[in-house]
Structure 1
């Protein structure tokens, strides 16, 4: 009965997902109309939204060629798509304020687009085949050289002792970094600054019985080993929370109530079997909701089984990874780079989360780099071959 299907952040998904949807819709719609079997998506209108300058599909241990080949622009369905290009930034608006402010915003947007396309002047360090090191303009530099986390936090979260409970204060700022370990380290540091008692919630872990045919697996891996696993997209075994801490939801629980993957909340109460939070982003801002423990499974191919972890689908978000920040809009963005980015579009995603050029700051450890004040900007330019300029 659907007349329109909308798929957001489409460039992040593997092309096989779209081909699977195409075949499924053809089969479903063919029951009513045999001709639908020969129509793309069974004749349904599908709107794919996204930006190829942002992060592409994640292929574990995949090469550059693997990532590009997994992109939606490489599927046979792409030739049937009509491409519409948005020309106006919805975050950094150019047509408001004084003429000087409009000019500043226009130049910032042009710089962002050039970064996303890989068109900024770049340099190559020793033994590098491709020039990827770009200079960050001085007005966006927070600090260079040895990065002292205390100073970074003081600049990104000023007057934290007095404003740690302010919803607007927490909603409009975050520190972005490429690695989960770095984000966890910053969040633990910030949790130490937050007054109040810390509550630790431990998960219940087990091996999914359908993921292995060997019964020995259930006895070969002790519970302590399962608890120690840190897997992408799954909360840690030990989740440490405090009242007043901002957290991000890791799963779609109830979209109608605003509980979607990526929604940010502030913890308002910590119970024994439930966590209460107040939504600070999205369409349900201000609503108080209850978050239950849910069972989440991993898709990590590094382990020979599927792990089932029963835990609250939450993660502290004073700092978050660049990949997880997609879709967020922030007034103050600190891009914390003790190590450079490592994948296509990450630097563009981090820089484009801000709603104004004044709110963007880069923190770069360039002590071991040839080019000072530079950072790596990785762009797979071949992914744009089938796209309009």
Structure 2
């Protein structure tokens, strides 16, 4: 999933000797290469590399300096054929990494961020580290026990940030660090200032500059809130910042009572004011270049399902044209017309129909909608507290690093409620 959706996640495959790590590497490699993807297999030593399909040592593939440090880069140029290969790489499998000084993968990380022009771990390439910390650790000439331990991957920012954050998240999910139902957040998560505009500035930097947003921009940045009212308000604020001409699509609404149209009973003004979690707004304001989310299954075979995120490429009078963001159908363009929609649940004492584009803006989305989606940067609006089990855990776990999470609190104190139904755990 991380490879196909270009999520660029880091994994560590931990297993004692003889448990089949090499077999898993070969399966991963063969499966992705069969789909014409580039997979690089490296190891810390030549003997270990020979066991991998097309394996080479990490120093050979990446040209890591023999004496790497916390500022070193790999010794090849951005114009080299090697750099071209790494720009097209989808997966790196790095075996026996516990034997190497953590400066080595950090050197590769810095280099890939540079040559791929992407400030993400390893330039957005998914990396599978593997090994067993029970085996030999990095060799430090005349090094003490503490120096050897300090050279391990576990003492690298690449490891520490994700591990500590994951441990904190698990405690939130289990309700272990909130005996009073309250969570105290790291100061780094605070928005500065602690306002809606502060959250927007943190999550959508430079969005007001024409031509800046792109598909990856909207895939990697999002704002979450517990309730739809807050989501709609934030979406409207961010839309104001996005350059371009605004277009308003107004719905045609009707009510049916006992199988017959009863528009004389319910006025149009009343119907236009009705909202449901799975219905678009009556006044749907959109701009070209804005991200949207589908609210209905239009064509699952083409990736157009409830929850699919797209970016608008053209606003016509009765339809919009949009391009799919991410997934197997990334880049696919489609026309989205107005259709008849009704709430999936009986929220009203009559049958309600809304003829409207089946979309909503997705600068922000509800926490429930975000479940199953991963992003690089996430902002969370907690002015309205979470109201059910797991919501806070889901919101915080959309990103894998504490430094990439910003939270808007109801006051300047970084504290919020956490709801956990311990009986289901």
TM-score, normalised by the number of residues in structure 1: 0.66
Q: For the Cα contact (< 8 Å) 1:93–1:105, is it kept in 2?
A: no
Provide, for residues 233-253 of structure 1, a one-character-per-residue CA deviation record: whole Å limited to 9, x for no partner.
100111111101111111111
Provide, for residues 124-154 of structure 1, a one-character-per-residue CA deviation record: whole Å limited to 9, x for no partner.
xxxxxxx2111112233335xx732222211
Alpha-carbon offset, residue 197 of structure 1: 1.2
Which runs of 5 or more structure 1 residues have no equivalent in the other structure?
1-91, 123-130, 385-389
* DSSP 3-state at the match of 1:171: helix
Q: For the Cα contact (< 8 Å) 1:164–1:244, is it kept in 2?
A: no
Alpha-carbon offset, residue 218 of structure 1: 4.1
Which runs of 5 or more structure 2 residues have no equivalent in the other structure?
1-125, 131-151
Alpha-carbon offset, residue 301 of structure 1: 4.1
1:234 matched to 2:279? The reply is: yes
Matching residue of 1:134 = 183
> 2:417 aligned to 370, 376, 385, which one?
376
TM-score, normalised by the number of residues in structure 2: 0.61
> 1:159 aligned to 185, 206, 210, which one?
206
Distance in 2 separating the partners of 1:181 and 1:320? 10
Measured at CA, do residues 95 and 306 of structure 1 come closer, stay the same or move farther in structure 2, by a change above 3 Å? farther
Q: For the Cα contact (< 8 Å) 1:244–1:266, is it kept in 2?
A: yes
Higher relative contact order (Cα pairs below 8 Å, separated by 6+ residues): 1
Q: Which protein has the larger Cα radius of gyration, Structure 1 or Structure 2?
A: 2
Distance in 1 separating the partners of 2:303 and 2:181? 39
Q: For the Cα contact (< 8 Å) 1:252–1:261, is it kept in 2?
A: yes
Alpha-carbon offset, residue 217 of structure 1: 4.3
1:200 matched to 2:245? The reply is: no
Matching residue of 2:258 = 213
Alpha-carbon offset, residue 182 of structure 1: 1.3
Measured at CA, do residues 93 and 319 of structure 1 come closer, stay the same or move farther in structure 2, by a change above 3 Å? farther
* DSSP 3-state at the match of 2:392: helix
1:311 matched to 2:356? The reply is: yes
Distance in 2 separating the partners of 1:113 and 1:305? 43
1:305-344 residue pairs with structure 2 within 5 A? 305-344=350-389
Matching residue of 2:11 = none
1:110 matched to 2:183? The reply is: no
Measured at CA, do residues 227 and 338 of structure 1 come closer, stay the same or move farther in structure 2, by a change above 3 Å? same
Distance in 1 separating the partners of 2:418 and 2:236? 28
Q: For the Cα contact (< 8 Å) 1:299–1:306, is it kept in 2?
A: no
1:280 matched to 2:329? The reply is: no
Distance in 2 separating the partners of 1:160 and 1:201? 23
Alpha-carbon offset, residue 230 of structure 1: 1.2
Q: For the Cα contact (< 8 Å) 1:173–1:332, is it kept in 2?
A: yes
Distance in 2 separating the partners of 1:170 and 1:178? 20
Alpha-carbon offset, residue 164 of structure 1: 4.2
Q: For the Cα contact (< 8 Å) 2:290–2:361, is it kept in 1?
A: yes
RMSD: 2.3
* DSSP 3-state at the match of 2:388: coil
Alpha-carbon offset, residue 294 of structure 1: 1.6
* DSSP 3-state at the match of 2:360: strand
